[in-house]
């Protein structure tokens, strides 16, 4: 009996969950259409780029649409079961609200696992891949759009000037390059010929120079060196070039890389709180699934007279309150007395306490709001 009811409730949650996930995610993706149009105009990107662009931004939406869709699914399922008196029939058959909540917990575990995978792995992959896509598009656009007798400073620490360009072969004549090194050393390249060559690695631009000289001036000892070459390969880096893990932003690091960052910072005696907080956020957001499930079941069973209060509108209200609280607690954690890690989990804790209270009163057939039943009796 319980197994049949559990499968039935899982199905009731699954259908609105799937529809909500599809609609919410598609709507969120549409917000990126302006950025795509801009890239199509400025960078001349094609269909493959658009596909990978959409795939890269998808995880940044799924970390929110998965928990919200789960809440909508739970509310829609229990609202329908309650309105059709199926909950009453199940209770008459000896099933308590705790029994009916078991399939919700099973579904919550699946959504939690999916959301956790997104926050720990897919979200940083998407952010890094998106940066790579934009960089590669900029690189190809730059190489194909290079013009004669023009100074270019889009490279990191490098200024490039080309006298003549063969549009068919891409070969360049009369090349001047000014390079400022990390130690403020100035290198000047003069080459009779040059050609951009395919990079063996992504995010890299190689310029192969022929028949030229290198003029190097050191700031410390003010020495000046000149060296000639027949062939020289110069690695160039465009602005916005994706770097190694140590140079990435937190949102571009996986869970394992964040843990390594924490260990490295602690080993050096540096402050690792920024990495610790970000790692806790990766777990706190997926954990909201259990909170939404705990609140969604009793709220779905409440008889709301106004037709405008559908499962979707109630879900949006709950989610808005949750994220407003999250933002407020994080602000207090950054600037106030609340510990930053506790601030990350505070909204989950508050909603968990409220959910347990509402669930317990609903399971005991008591009104969600205390004393509301007394007022009705007095009337």
Q: What is the pLDDT of residues 275-331, one digit of tens each?
A: 888 899 999 999 999 999 999 999 888 765 444 446 677 888 888 999 999 989 988
Total domain count, the chain: 2
Q: Does residue 202 sit in the same domain as residue 323?
A: no
Q: Is the pLDDT of residue 82 over 90?
A: no
pLDDT for res 311: 63
| Averaged pLDDT for residues 134-158 | 73
In a domain, 243, yes or no: no
In a domain, 147, yes or no: no
pLDDT for res 180: 80
Strands of 186-197's sheet, edge to edge? 151-155, 158-165, 172-180, 186-197, 205-217, 224-236
pLDDT for res 138: 66
The 3-state secondary structure of 160-229 reads EEEEEECCCCCCEEEEEEEEECCCCCEEEEEEEEEEEECCCCCCCEEEEEEEEEEEEECCCCCCEEEEEE
Q: Does residue 134 sit in the same domain as residue 7?
A: yes
pLDDT tens track for 182-231 = 666 788 999 999 887 755 555 567 888 999 999 887 666 677 888 999 99
Q: Which domain holds residue 363?
A: 2-139+252-378
Q: What is the mean pLDDT of the chain?
A: 83
Q: In whole angstroms, give the CA distance from residue 225 to residue 237.
A: 25
| pTM of the entire predicted model | 0.75
Confidence of residue 22 (pLDDT cuts 50, 70, 90): very high
| Averaged pLDDT for residues 155-162 | 82
Q: In whole angstroms, give the CA distance from residue 145 to residue 165.
A: 11
pLDDT for res 305: 45
Question: Quick one: which H or E segment has residue 215?
Answer: strand 205-217
Q: Does residue 6 sit in the same domain as residue 104?
A: yes
């Amino acid at each position: 009996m319980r197994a049949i009811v559990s499968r039935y409730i899982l199905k009731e949650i699954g259908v609105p969950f799937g529809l909500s996930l599809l609609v919410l995610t598609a709507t969120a993706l549409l917000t990126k259409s302006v950025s795509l149009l801009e890239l199509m105009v400025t960078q001349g990107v094609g269909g493959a780029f658009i596909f990978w662009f959409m795939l890269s931004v998808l995880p940044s939406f799924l970390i929110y649409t998965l928990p919200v869709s789960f809440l909508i699914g739970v509310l829609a399922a229990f609202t329908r079961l309650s309105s059709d008196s199926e909950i009453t029939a199940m209770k008459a058959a000896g099933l308590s609200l705790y029994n009916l909540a078991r399939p919700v917990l099973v579904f919550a575990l699946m959504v939690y696992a999916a959301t956790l995978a997104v926050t720990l792995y897919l979200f940083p992959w998407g952010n890094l891949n998106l940066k790579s896509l934009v960089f590669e598009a900029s690189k190809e656009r730059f190489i194909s759009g290079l013009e004669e007798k023009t100074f270019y400073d889009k490279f990191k620490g490098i200024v490039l000037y080309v006298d003549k360009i063969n549009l068919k072969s891409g070969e360049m004549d009369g090349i001047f390059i000014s390079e400022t090194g990390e130690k403020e050393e100035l290198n000047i390249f003069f080459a009779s010929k040059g050609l951009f060559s395919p990079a063996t690695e992504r995010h890299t631009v190689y310029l192969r120079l022929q028949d030229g000289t290198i003029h190097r001036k050191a700031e410390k000892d003010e020495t000046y060196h000149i060296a000639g070459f027949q062939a020289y390969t110069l690695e160039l880096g465009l602005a916005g070039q994706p770097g190694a893990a140590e140079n990435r932003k937190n949102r571009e690091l996986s869970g394992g890389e964040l843990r390594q960052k924490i260990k490295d910072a602690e080993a050096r005696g540096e402050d690792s709180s920024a990495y610790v907080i970000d790692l806790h956020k990766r777990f706190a957001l997926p954990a909201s699934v259990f909170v939404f499930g705990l609140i969604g079941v009793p709220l779905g069973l409440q008889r709301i007279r106004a037709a405008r209060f559908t499962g979707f509108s109630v879900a949006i209200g709950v989610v808005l309150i949750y994220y407003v609280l999250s933002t407020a607690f994080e602000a207090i954690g950054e600037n106030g007395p609340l510990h930053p890690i506790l601030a990350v989990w505070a909204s989950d804790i508050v909603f968990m306490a409220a959910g347990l209270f509402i669930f317990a009163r609903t399971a005991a057939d008591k009104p969600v709001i205390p004393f509301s039943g007394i007022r009705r009796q007095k009337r």
